[in-house]
Amino acid sequence: MAAILEVEQVGKRFGGFVALDGIDLAVQEGERLGLIGPNGSGKSTLVNCICGTLTNEAGSVRFQGRRLDGLPAYKRTRLGLARSFQLPRPFTSLTVSENVRIPLLYTVNAREHRLTSAGIDDRCAELIGLVGLQDKAEARPVDLTQVDMRKLELARAMAADPKLLIADEAMAGLSHSEIEDILKLLLRLNERGVTIIMIEHIMSAVMSFSQRLVVLVSGRKIADGAPQEVVRNPEVVGAYLGQ
Amino acid sequence: MIVSYDLLVNALIAGVLLGGFYVAVTVGISIAFGILDIVNIAHVAFIILGAYIAYIVNLHFGLDPILVGIVTLPAFYALGAVVYQIYYLSFERRGQEALRGLAFFFGLLFITEVGLILVFGVDYRYVSAIYVGPSLRLGIADFPLRMVVPCVAALVMFGVLQLFLSRTFTGRAIMAVSQDPLALRLMAVDPIRIKRIAFGISVATAGIAGALLIVIQPVEPSVGREFIGRVFAIAVLGGLGSLPGTVVGAMLLGIMESLTATFYGPSWAPAVAFGFLLLTLAFRPQGILGR
Amino acid sequence: MRWTNFFLIAAVVAALGVAATQFSSNDYYFFAAYVVLQYVVLATAWNILGGYAGYVNFGSAAFFAAGAYSTVVVHKLYPLPLPLLIVFSGIVAGLIGFGTGYLTLRLRGVFFAIATLALAVVLQTLIINWDFVGGSRGAYIIRPHTFPLLGSYMKYMFLVMLGLAIVAVSVARLIERSWLGYGLAAIRDDEFAAEASGVPTLRLKLVATAVSGAFMGMAGSPFPYIIGYVEPSSTFNLAYAVNAIAMPMIGGTSTWIGPVIGAILLGTIQQVATVTISSAVNLLIVGLVLVAFVIIAPNGLVGLAQSWMRKRK
């Protein structure tokens, strides 16, 4: 297996605050990686640096062997690096189906094989069906429930036809059965060959999903390995209990 | 080009005095835009309103224009509090401040300006006070009192504000309102009330700034527009939310404008502020004192 | 409404315009209609950036004046036919929009708004100091009196502005329904999410600013011929800036029809009001209506109509 994402010595500061301190991370193609850590440990900052929402001052990020440094976020999305936001950020004036249409128009159609307008409609319907929102295709985001909003967030990220999907706390605040729904969805995507990084606080979900677990604490990576071993690592236990 | 020495000295003095006055004009924007994140472009119209109030009271009762500015502080504070309440209920709470909130303040700017035109016409108005005419001379240096008095008054107002914001409970709450709303809630402080107070203070400074303005130069309703570029140039240049930065920005702009007016002609001065603003936005949006 | 219906209506409007020039000889009516149409162009242009992308331009007067003064410059050098003048003015104003946008559109939207406010002051300063176009004194522009087939030149300018309005509205509608319109809507709703969805936000905003600025310049292009005497304070009139915002806000900013409705309504009222009451009072009314609408009916008349129809269902 080849590494699809290589993060090398990435560092980020906000004023005097060190948010990320020399992070190294390699993700293999097709892998399911869990990324955990206490609040403020730098998980979202790392995602933002990988996706280009923030620029890292130190280190480099490679995607499929290509250096991403300096590339704006939209170009990274077009290369096949998609993310969902921690707090869902739908386009509020557009319908569910139009929300999904945006990445189709701007990523899939920006690549070699453009879709016809009927092709876009089909892909839209397919993606909305995939997350089970077909009955709400014409609804506006304000009329969606929490779980539907998360599903829309995932459908929109999937519309970019990513090779790597970063799901940033896609399950926070959901009920047990809703978590199961989202987990099944992510597993199905992974079976189709999409590499997935899951950032999550809900340990049962991360543990059942991840093949490998990475722990961030105060901007540093303190553990990286098989999930069962990582959670027994004294440093990790200390970081979670000692805070 | 041979630059005459005393011309240069006097241009610099005029620039510093002008910069001091600009502190009064800008400090309200620094509070509203820098701390509260409310883009009150109607501020300059409130300044002109203050100038006309100073004018009318001065004309009929002979009261000192700056004293008028101080006396009308509560009225301007109330105006600010009311405007904030409308802004909060109609835009901020609904998350529509970006497009419609801006249009709202633009409408206020326009209504105030046209209202003043309807009442007073477009003639220039000025005030009389003992310090409007004379000038202090020290060697080659010339200190026109109509500039010195507003500059001193502006800096006094700034000092009082700075003390208020750093020493009182309300003042500290105002400084915290944008950065740490959660801490405010824990202290059982209502952030909306704090913002209303802060915005009231911001508009109150416009009343004083207007009184100072009409001491410095004759005023007509559309003069305010020239100040839009200036106040935002200074606020951004100084670093948003930084009151000391406001003084630095104001002095810089005052000196640049004064030099431009002296060596290239006064009709070019308004362009200086815009140039400053654009360059700052393009190359250093965090301001000179910002991180 | 489908494109075929849209073009059918546009063709009928154009035909009515041409017919009107054959039946009436009172130039005042054509002047009044010209002013209203000029506002249709201005409001539509503002809405391409303001309504679709959510970026507020306070400097419409500057773009309008840039178009007008482009005409003055060309007229002094070599008088071109009106349509070519309009194209030239559009290019100049479009470049000004692109330049201002390039410097400020990376930042939050409010900075762009502030920059456009200041832009008006600076362009005016430049013009005041530029003797070639008359400086602060102004310049006389003598327009042809007649035009072949139509008789009066005013009728010709009316038809040109009618054509320009149809083009502007068609372009706005085209943008609204295309990938560009979806991208701008995404920017308006959430710029971060738009970027994460692959939308090149800066590039799209620049396109919208340039197109919007260009149409504003085109709206101002025939202005010197209309008034015959161009000077800075009437050309940079704040009324243009206010109307350009008020008309879309009152009509509704989310679709192309909103600015058209707002411009026809407010424009006509102002034409009538200027004759009957003073022009200052009538501007005061525009300001008050603008503030009332943004507070009470944030989605404009179109929004009111939509929610009324929904209730009836």
Prediction ipTM score: 0.88
Please give the residue of chain A at the shortest CA–CA distance from C193: A89
Q: How many residues are present in chain C?
A: 313
Say if CB C253 and CB C50 are below 8 A apart. yes
**Phi (first) and psi of residue C139, to 5 degrees:** -140, 145
Read off the tokens for A111: 């690549």
Instruction: Give the closest residue to C68 by CA, choosing from C254, C303, C234.
Output: C234
In chain B the first and final C-alpha atoms are separated, in Å, by: 38
Residue B35 has pLDDT above 80, yes or no: yes
Read off the tokens for A96: 């569910």
Read off the tokens for A157: 């990220």
A111 CB neighbours in chain C (<8 A) are none
Between strands A58-63 and A32-36, the pairing is: unpaired
Domain positions in chain B are 5-283
What pLDDT is attached to residue B291? Answer: 42
What pLDDT is attached to residue B287? Answer: 64
Report CB contact under 8 Å: B110, C238: yes
Measured in angstroms, the CA of C126 and the nearest CA of chain B are apart by: 8
Out of C111, C117, C295, name the one closest to residue B229 (CB): C117
Measured in angstroms, the CA of A155 and the nearest CA of chain C are apart by: 11
What pLDDT is attached to residue A28? Answer: 92
User: Which parts of chain C sit beneath pLDDT 50?
Assistant: none
Please give the residue of chain A at the shortest CA–CA distance from C204: A106
Instruction: Give the closest residue to B150 by CA, choosing from B124, B125, B129.
Output: B129
A106 CB neighbours in chain C (<8 A) are 179, 183, 197-200
Please give the residue of chain A at the shortest CA–CA distance from C201: A74
Say if CB C193 and CB A90 are below 8 A apart. yes
Read off the tokens for A57: 């001052």
For an interface test with C, the pick among B223, B264, B281 (most C C-beta atoms closer than 10 Å) comes out as: B281
Say if CB A165 and CB A83 are below 8 A apart. yes
Report CB contact under 8 Å: C125, B39: no
- According to DSSP, the residues that pair with B142 across neighbouring strands are B137
Between strands A164-168 and A195-199, the pairing is: parallel
Helices (runs of H) and strands (runs of E) counted in chain C: 15, 4
Residue B146 has pLDDT above 90, yes or no: no
pLDDT, tens only, B183-221: 777 777 888 899 999 999 999 999 999 999 999 999 999
Q: How many residues are present in chain A?
A: 243
Distances (CA, A) of A24 to A5, A48, A50, A59, A62: 11, 15, 12, 9, 11
Say if CB B90 and CB C256 are below 8 A apart. no
Residue A112 has pLDDT above 70, yes or no: no
Report CB contact under 8 Å: B282, C128: no
Report CB contact under 8 Å: C201, A83: no
Report CB contact under 8 Å: A74, C200: yes
Rounded to whole angstroms, how far apart are CA atoms B100 and B113? 20
For residue C175, what is the enclosing H or E element?
helix C153-177
Q: With 0-12 CB in 10 A as exposed, 13-18 as middle and 19+ as buried, what is A232?
A: exposed
For an interface test with C, the pick among A91, A156, A165 (most C C-beta atoms closer than 10 Å) comes out as: A91
Report CB contact under 8 Å: C186, A91: yes
| Alpha-carbon B195 to chain mean position | 18
pLDDT, tens only, A64-73: 988 988 899 9
Q: How many CA atoms lie within 13 A of B118 on its CB side?
A: 15
pTM, two decimals, is: 0.89
Looking at CATH, the fold of the domain delimited by A3-241 is given as: Rossmann fold (3.40.50)
C100 CB neighbours in chain B (<8 A) are 278
Rounded to whole angstroms, how far apart are CA atoms B254 and B259? 9
Which amino acid makes up residue A79? L
What pLDDT is attached to residue A242? Answer: 58
Rounded to whole angstroms, how far apart are CA atoms A43 and C181? 34
Measured in angstroms, the CA of A48 and the nearest CA of chain C are apart by: 10
- According to DSSP, the residues that pair with A84 across neighbouring strands are A167
Domain positions in chain A are 3-241
Query: Mean pLDDT across the stretch A13-19?
Result: 80
Say if CB C22 and CB C170 are below 8 A apart. no
What pLDDT is attached to residue A1? Answer: 53
Report CB contact under 8 Å: A107, C198: yes
What pLDDT is attached to residue C233? Answer: 85
Out of C114, C136, C246, name the one closest to residue B232 (CB): C114
CB atoms within 10 A of CB C1: 10
Instruction: Give the closest residue to C253 by CA, choosing from C102, C43, C11, C77.
Output: C43
Query: Mean pLDDT across the stretch A39-45?
Result: 85
Measured in angstroms, the CA of C288 and the nearest CA of chain B are apart by: 7
Supply the mean pLDDT for chain B.
87
Report CB contact under 8 Å: C287, B226: no
Measured in angstroms, the CA of C278 and the nearest CA of chain B are apart by: 10
For domain B5-283, which architecture applies?
Answer: Orthogonal Bundle (1.10)
Say if CB A180 and CB A128 are below 8 A apart. no
Q: Which residue has 């773009």 as its token pair?
A: C63
- Give me the percent of chain B exceeding a pLDDT of 70: 96
What pLDDT is attached to residue C111? Answer: 85
For an interface test with C, the pick among B94, B102, B109 (most C C-beta atoms closer than 10 Å) comes out as: B102
| Alpha-carbon B218 to chain mean position | 17
For residue A212, what is the enclosing H or E element?
strand A212-217
Q: Which residue has 């654009």 as its token pair?
A: B278
Measured in angstroms, the CA of A137 and the nearest CA of chain C are apart by: 16
**Phi (first) and psi of residue B284, to 5 degrees:** -145, 65
C200 CB neighbours in chain A (<8 A) are 72, 74-75, 106
C107 CB neighbours in chain B (<8 A) are 281, 285
Q: How many residues are present in chain B?
A: 291
Residue B261 has pLDDT above 60, yes or no: yes
Instruction: Give the closest residue to A154 by CA, choosing from A190, A180, A127.
Output: A127
Between strands C146-147 and C151-152, the pairing is: antiparallel
- Collapsing DSSP to helix, strand or coil, A192 comes out as coil
